[in-house]
């Protein structure tokens, strides 16, 4: 794959980097992401392997200007700051990073320490804090390691360290939750005055302890309550100046997460680290999920790439629609035409007309977007954009 | 072989009383086959039969038995199906026999079907040889069983062989009694050929293979034969007898013999089961009486799941009908289901068997509609029509009155369950006739009931309320005037023709409500509320609503990995393809069948 990546453009391509850290102090009971707990020597070995992978991308990187970096997990904040610093040095050596690049690190309120605060102050400009809830009993039930107090303290510590661009993750629809307790969560989040909030609703995934406990839906808020929580989220956060810009994301103007928008707008990104996903040069692939293989072969990105899928125009048109429609701005006819040399109406006219008639979509200017009702049942609507 | 050394017989028994096992032992002990050739249960060689433990399609086997007197006898064992629905097939097999072995299970005694089949055999003037089976079981009561045979059926069972078909014990005695007690055929070999077609088979290389019993005369390769009913003539290319699962060619078939005939017959319709075969240039004076035309009692629509396979369904039905003359079909169309056929069956089991054969042997996926009986519609203009499809019911203003078929039902059961079963029969509009106690532990409950009430789920209800201890048999008793109405089911305000049915007026409300409720469970929630209504004419009598989906949204798409999201959307799209479209509502194809099944609510 490297041969075609090396092309030189006058204008460098805006690239995103995702770095995965698969380590957690303890895996949460609902989590089905790639993460596990580990000792220091594994973390050291992992950092070294990650650096080998970063170095291997040097040639590819020549044509790109990195506009966003996202450190996700797992919990990147369980990595010792000295290892993170080594990784950042490698990034700076291999990639040209824009001066105004958005650099985000996910942190667990239970793992915010002097060590990683100083790293954060030096090297990054945005933090995503996995708060999930401001109720200790809910946190306990989720299997989180932190408390409400730690969450509140973390926010002020980060602010004190100079990180103003802060996100709080909140989770709705969790067992035992009521519309009332959710509203209280929203109020507490608003009181902390952060510019970005991600509010996800729990999905009970197979293979998690939650699946065994709640797969039959007992103890979970019912559909009406769950939707009420969603509607309240929008209303409450809008009152605090945070507007919904994607199905689950709310921000004050100018604080929308550039890296996340990249995913929905199909901007190119390279995933580094175990199991990380990439979209680059009309291909999608994903790194191996085997730590052993990754540690051994990360110096050769082709060797650790899995599920390499070349995207044809059809795939890309489908993605353009079902990813783009997750944003509140929706998809633009003009952008579609520029990308595919066909009009959107030509490809999706019948579906768009029907969805608008049935009230699931709306058209504003040259853009199509989901309505509130369309968002509620977005899976059904988005599936209509898969072509036969 | 001289006719005096031929025995043509069948085995009749209640289901599971050991018919196929005894047939296997007879074949073994007559030594026609080596042990290696013996498959388990040679007669039941269709998958379906094996699974259900019943014999559907009559088959025939010839064996040679060397009796204790040192002489060889040709035994033609003609297999018969065991279920009440297949009386017609039993009847045509019996017409080819001179005698019958009646097996009674020593642990169960005389059952409803034992009686039914036994009376059929007596109707055909067959000599009946009772055999008491399963004496190897601890619970066997052979003395009581013999007594019951004498009391209930009126046959002398004093020297009935007491056997175990399973272990082979005393099967030899059965063979000896076949030779000494069953009559030899008495046809005249010098008369013109007169043979009865009792079955047939289609082979794509050989054409139609006719199974027949020769009564008079003989036939050989080169003979020109004529089918007396259809008038078709053919030159015989092969005649022969039945080995175990094999056709064994012979020089000729003569009076008294049972065998097959081939004559490059391509058209399935020219050789009707029940027809008489004779010689074209020397015909016999009159045809054999044949037997009663089968009367389909239950009808339903059968549609291919994939509408493109309609021609395949038509071909499959045509082939099945060749050796299942009781199966009737004619094309029909449904708004909901497309092109299909309205098919007539002897009963529910027959329906089930045909459906499964279509699915297994012909690889078709089917949608079947609610079974219906044949109603007589007396119109105000004085005409009468038979109604087999509820959708064709004339406007109520044109109907003077309607009649529905009623059947005499005999339920065999242990007296403990008489109470609950009487309640069941009453719920199903049964009119009590009598209770007879056969012995301490066995009673027969007789009811007259509308056939309509037993075609849906009566059997399941009977089994569940008697913990499996009751069985039933029925025969048509005639027609009675009844208060009947057509119930339409509307999905999102559109009537679904495939779900219309005729129902007894006073039960309409309950049935309508039940249908709506079941359908509600079958139709997945969609993007809008879907009303499901039951209506008689323009009057809505029941309603349910499938609530719209409130939420179907995938919140997270982590670290730019969209593969899970794409998979989910693809699954959604795929699921949609498996639906039938009724208006703008998607209905899973299974819904049409599932709404008719007895649910947890019984």
Q: Are A212 and A325 contained in the same domain?
A: no
N-to-C CA span, chain B: 59
For B569, the closest of A201, A279, A383 (CB atoms) is A383
pLDDT at B52: 37
Please tell me whether residues B169 and B24 are part of one structural domain. yes
Specify whether A256 is located in the same domain as A326: no
Q: Which of B327-341, B461-475, B580-594 has the highest mean pLDDT?
A: B327-341
- The enclosing domain of A112 has a CATH number of 3.80.30.20
From its phi and psi, is residue A117 left (phi > 0), alpha (psi between -120 and 50) or beta? alpha
Report how far residue B325's alpha carbon sits from residue A28's, in angstroms, rounded to the nearest whole number.
67
| Shared domain check, A346 and A259 | no
> pLDDT confidence of B112, banded at 50, 70, 90?
low
Q: What is the mean pLDDT of residues B463-482?
A: 83
* Shortest alpha-carbon distance between residue B589 and chain A (Å): 20
Please indicate if any CB of chain B lies within 8 Å of the CB of A322.
yes
Over the stretch B408-461, which tens digit does the pLDDT of each residue have? 988 888 888 999 999 999 989 999 999 988 767 778 899 999 998 888 778 778
pLDDT at B35 over 50: no
Higher pLDDT, A185 or B559: A185
Last residue of a domain, one of B482, B502, B517: B482
In a domain, A297, yes or no: no
Of A230, A247, A377, which is closest to B549 when you measure between CB atoms? A377
Any domain includes A288:
no
Indicate if B213 and B177 belong to the same structural domain: no
Classify residue B601: in a domain, yes or no: no
Residue A266: the pLDDT is 95
pLDDT at B46: 42
pLDDT at A29 over 60: yes
Q: Are B200 and B323 contacting, i.e. CB atoms less than 8 angstroms apart?
A: yes
Looking at residue A155, what is its pLDDT? Answer: 95
Residue B598 confidence (pLDDT) above 70: no
Condensed to tens digits (0 to 9), the pLDDT of residues B130-172 reads 999 999 988 889 999 999 888 877 888 888 999 998 888 999 9
DSSP B419: H
Do the chains contact at A380 and B565, CB–CB below 8 Å? no
Same domain, A322 and A259: no
Asked if pLDDT for residue A1 goes beyond 50, the answer is: no
Residue B600 has pLDDT above 50, yes or no: no
Partner-chain residue, chosen from B527, B556, B570, that has the shortest CB–CB distance to A380:
B527
Note the pLDDT tens digit of each residue in A78-132. Answer: 999 999 999 999 999 999 999 999 999 999 998 888 888 999 999 999 999 999 9
Supply the CATH number for residue B561's domain. Answer: 3.30.70.2570
8 Å CB contact of B555 and A200 = yes
B188 within some domain: no
Residue B525 CA to residue B549 CA, distance in Å, equals: 6
Asked whether this complex has an ipTM greater than 0.90, the answer is no
Residue at A207 is within a domain: yes
Residue pLDDT, tens place only, A126-140 = 999 999 999 999 999
- Structure tokens, B479: 């027609």
A44 and A103: one domain? Answer: yes
B284 in any annotated domain: no
Q: Looking at the structure, do residues B355 and B417 belong to the same domain, yes or no?
A: no
The verdict on B317 and B408 lying in the same domain is no
Range of the domain at A6: 2-264
Q: Is B560–A227 a contact, with Cβ atoms under 8 angstroms apart?
A: no
Q: Hey, of A31, A373, A383, A385, which one would you mutate to test binding to chain B, going by the most B CBs within 10 A of its CB? A: A383
Residue B337's pLDDT band, with cuts at 50, 70 and 90, is confident
* Closest chain A CA to residue B572: A383
H or E segment and range at residue A357? helix A344-357
Kindly state whether residues A226 and A333 are assigned to the same domain.
no
Q: Is residue B186 part of a domain?
A: no
Same domain, A68 and A175: yes
Lowest mean pLDDT segment, chosen from A308-317, B217-226, B342-351: B342-351
Q: Does residue A283 sit within a domain?
A: no
Whether the per-residue pLDDT at B33 is higher than 60: the answer is no
Task: Please give the interface size between A and B, counted as residue pairs whose CB atoms are below 8 Å apart.
Answer: 91
CA distance A263 to B560: 6
In chain B, how many domains are there? 5
Q: Residue B586 is inside which H or E element, if any?
A: strand B585-588
DSSP state of B164: B
**Rounded mean pLDDT of B481-490?**
93
Q: pLDDT-derived band of residue A2, with 50, 70 and 90 as boundaries? A: very low
**CA-based nearest residue in chain B for residue A280:** B560
Question: Do residue B311 and residue B361 come from a single domain?
Answer: yes
Whether the full predicted model's pTM is greater than 0.90, yes or no, is no
Indicate if the pLDDT at residue B55 is higher than 50. no
pLDDT interval class at B601 (50, 70, 90)? very low
Query: Looking at the structure, do residues B42 and B175 belong to the same domain, yes or no?
Result: yes
B425-458 burial by CB neighbour count: b if 16+ within 10 A, else e?
beebbbeeeeeeeeeeebbbbbbbbbbbbbbbbb
Q: How far is CA B342 from CA B306, B592, B596, in A?
A: 17, 15, 17
Q: Is B72 a domain residue?
A: yes
DSSP B486-555: EEEEEETTEE-GGG-EEEEGGGHHHHHHHHHHHHHHHSPP-SS-EEEEEEETTEEEEEEEEPPP------
CB pair distance less than 8 Å for A20 and B559: yes
- What's the total number of domains in chain A? 2
Half-sphere exposure of B445 (CA within 13 A, CB side): 26
The residue among A223, A242, A264 that closes a domain is: A264
Looking at the fold, whether B154 and B18 belong to one and the same domain comes out as: yes
Could you tell me if B14 and B159 lie in one domain?
yes
Identify the pLDDT of residue A9: 47
Residue B92, pLDDT score = 74
Q: Give the model's pLDDT for residue B87.
A: 56
**Does residue A290 lie within any of the structural domains?**
no
Residues B129 and B29 in one domain: yes
Q: Is residue A293 part of a domain?
A: no
pLDDT at position B40: 42
CATH number at residue B149: 3.40.50.300
A279 domain residue, yes or no: no
Q: Is residue B249 part of a domain?
A: yes
Q: Which pLDDT score is estimated for B90?
A: 67
Domain boundary among B343, B369, B395: B369
A286 at interface of B, judged by CB pairs closer than 8 A? yes
Q: What is residue B54's predicted lDDT score, i.e. its pLDDT?
A: 35
Residue A354 has pLDDT above 60, yes or no: yes
Residue B57: pLDDT band with limits 50, 70, 90:
very low
Provide the domain limits for residue B557.
Answer: 485-594
B354 belongs to a structural domain: yes
Confidence at residue B85, expressed as pLDDT on a 0 to 100 scale: 54
CA distance B560 to chain A (A): 6
- Answer with the one of B151, B181, B211 that is the final residue of a domain: B181
- A13 and A126 in a single domain? The answer is yes
Q: What is the pLDDT of residues A173-202, one digit of tens each?
A: 889 899 999 999 999 999 999 999 999 988
Report DSSP state, residue A112.
-
More confident position, B249 or B128: B128
Query: Is the domain of A151 the same as that of A208?
Result: yes
* Residue B464 sits in the same domain as residue B388: yes
Whether residues B345 and B406 fall in one domain: no
Nearest to B73 by CA among B197, B177, B227: B177
| Average predicted confidence (pLDDT) for chain B | 83
- Chain B residues closer than 8 Å to A247 by CB: 553, 555
Q: What percent of chain A has pLDDT above 90?
A: 78
- Whether residue A269 is contained in a domain is answered as no
Closest to B569 (Cβ–Cβ): which among A70, A203, A379?
A379
């Amino acid at each position: 794959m490297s041969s075609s990546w090396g092309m030189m453009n006058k204008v460098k391509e805006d690239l995103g980097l995702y770095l995965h850290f698969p380590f957690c102090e303890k895996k949460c009971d609902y989590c089905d992401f790639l993460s596990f707990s580990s000792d220091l020597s594994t973390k050291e070995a992992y950092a070294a392997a990650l650096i080998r992978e970063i170095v291997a991308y040097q040639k590819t990187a020549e044509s790109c200007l990195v506009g966003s970096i996202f450190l996700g997990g797992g919990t990147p904040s369980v990595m010792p700051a000295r290892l993170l610093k080594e990784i950042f040095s490698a990034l700076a050596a291999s990639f040209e990073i824009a001066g105004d690049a958005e650099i985000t690190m996910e942190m667990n309120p239970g793992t915010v320490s002097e060590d990683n605060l100083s790293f954060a102050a030096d090297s990054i400009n945005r933090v995503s804090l996995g708060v999930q809830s401001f109720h200790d009993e809910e946190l306990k039930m989720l299997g989180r390691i932190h408390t409400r107090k730690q969450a509140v303290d973390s926010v002020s510590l980060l602010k004190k360290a100079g990180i103003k661009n802060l996100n709080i993750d909140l989770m709705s629809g969790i067992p035992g939750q009521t519309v009332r307790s959710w509203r209280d969560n929203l109020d507490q989040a608003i009181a902390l005055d952060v510019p970005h909030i991600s509010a996800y609703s729990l999905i009970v995934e197979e293979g998690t302890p939650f699946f065994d406990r709640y797969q039959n839906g007992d103890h979970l808020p019912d559909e009406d309550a769950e939707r009420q929580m969603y509607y309240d989220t929008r209303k409450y956060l809008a009152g605090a100046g945070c507007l919904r810009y994607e199905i689950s994301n709310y921000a004050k103007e100018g604080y929308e997460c550039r890296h996340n928008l990249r995913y929905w707008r199909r901007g190119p990104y390279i995933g580094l680290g175990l199991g990380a996903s990439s979209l680059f040069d009309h291909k999608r692939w994903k790194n191996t999920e085997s730590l052993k293989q990754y540690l051994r072969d990360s110096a050769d990105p082709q060797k650790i790439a899995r599920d390499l899928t070349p995207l044809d125009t059809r795939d890309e048109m489908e993605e353009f629609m079902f990813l783009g429609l997750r944003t509140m701005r929706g998809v633009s006819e003009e952008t579609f035409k520029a990308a595919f040399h066909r009009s959107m109406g030509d490809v999706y006219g019948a579906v768009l007309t029907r969805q608008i008639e049935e009230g699931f979509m709306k058209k504003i200017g040259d853009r199509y977007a989901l309505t509130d009702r369309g968002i509620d049942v977005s899976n059904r609507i988005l599936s209509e954009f898969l072509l036969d | 072989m001289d006719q005096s050394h031929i025995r043509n017989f069948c085995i009749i028994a209640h289901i599971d009383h050991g018919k196929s096992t005894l047939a296997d032992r007879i074949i073994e002990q007559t030594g026609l086959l080596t042990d290696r050739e013996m498959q388990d249960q040679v007669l039941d060689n269709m998958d379906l039969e094996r699974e259900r433990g019943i014999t559907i399609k009559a088959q025939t086997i010839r064996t040679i038995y060397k009796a204790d007197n040192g002489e060889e006898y040709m035994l033609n064992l003609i297999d018969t199906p065991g279920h009440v629905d297949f009386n017609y097939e039993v009847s045509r097999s019996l017409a080819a026999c001179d005698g019958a072995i009646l097996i009674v299970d020593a642990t169960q005694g005389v059952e409803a079907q034992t009686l039914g089949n036994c009376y059929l055999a007596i109707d055909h003037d067959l000599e009946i040889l009772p055999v008491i089976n399963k004496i190897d079981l601890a619970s066997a009561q052979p003395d009581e069983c013999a007594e019951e045979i004498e009391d209930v059926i009126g046959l002398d069972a004093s020297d009935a062989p007491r056997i175990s078909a399973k272990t082979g014990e005393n099967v030899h005695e059965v063979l000896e009694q076949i030779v000494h007690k069953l009559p030899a055929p008495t046809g005249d070999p010098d008369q013109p050929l007169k043979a009865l077609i009792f079955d047939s088979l289609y082979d794509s290389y050989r054409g139609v293979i006719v199974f027949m019993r020769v009564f008079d005369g003989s036939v050989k390769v080169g003979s020109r034969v004529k089918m007396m009913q259809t008038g078709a003539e053919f030159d015989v290319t092969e005649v022969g007898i039945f080995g175990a699962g094999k056709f064994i060619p012979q020089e000729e078939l003569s009076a008294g013999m049972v065998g097959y005939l081939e004559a490059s017959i391509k058209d399935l319709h020219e050789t009707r089961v029940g027809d008489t075969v004779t010689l074209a240039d020397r015909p016999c004076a009159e045809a054999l009486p044949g037997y009663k035309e089968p009367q389909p009692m239950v009808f339903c629509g059968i549609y291919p799941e994939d509408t493109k396979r309609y021609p395949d369904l038509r071909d499959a039905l045509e082939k099945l009908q060749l050796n299942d003359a009781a199966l009737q079909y004619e094309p029909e169309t449904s708004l909901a289901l497309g092109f299909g056929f309205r098919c007539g069956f002897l009963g529910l089991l027959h329906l089930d068997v045909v459906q499964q054969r279509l699915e297994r042997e012909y690889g078709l996926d089917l949608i079947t509609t609610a079974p219906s009986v044949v109603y007589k519609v007396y119109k105000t203009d004085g005409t009468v029509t038979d109604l087999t499809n509820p959708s064709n019911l004339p406007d109520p203003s044109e109907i003077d009155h309607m009649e529905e078929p009623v059947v005499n039902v005999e339920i065999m059961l242990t007296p403990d369950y008489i109470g609950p079963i009487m309640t069941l029969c009453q719920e199903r509009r049964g009119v009590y006739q009598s209770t007879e106690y056969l012995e301490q532990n066995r009673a027969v409950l007789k009811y007259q009931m509308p056939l309509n009430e037993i075609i849906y789920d009566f059997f399941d209800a009977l089994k569940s309320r008697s913990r499996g201890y009751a069985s039933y048999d029925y025969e048509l008793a005639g027609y009675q005037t009844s208060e009947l109405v057509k119930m339409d089911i509307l999905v999102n305000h559109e009537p679904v023709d495939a779900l219309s049915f005729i129902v007894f007026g006073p039960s309409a409300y309950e049935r309508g409500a039940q249908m709506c409720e079941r359908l509600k469970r079958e139709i997945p929630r969609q993007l809008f509320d879907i009303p499901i209504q039951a209506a008689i004419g323009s009057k809505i009598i029941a309603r349910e609503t499938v609530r719209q989906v409130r939420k179907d949204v995938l919140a997270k798409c982590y670290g730019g990995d969209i593969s899970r999201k794409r998979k989910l959307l693809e699954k959604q799209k795929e699921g949609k393809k498996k639906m039938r479209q009724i208006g703008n509502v998607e209905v899973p194809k299974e819904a049409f069948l599932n709404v008719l099944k007895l649910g947890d609510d019984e």
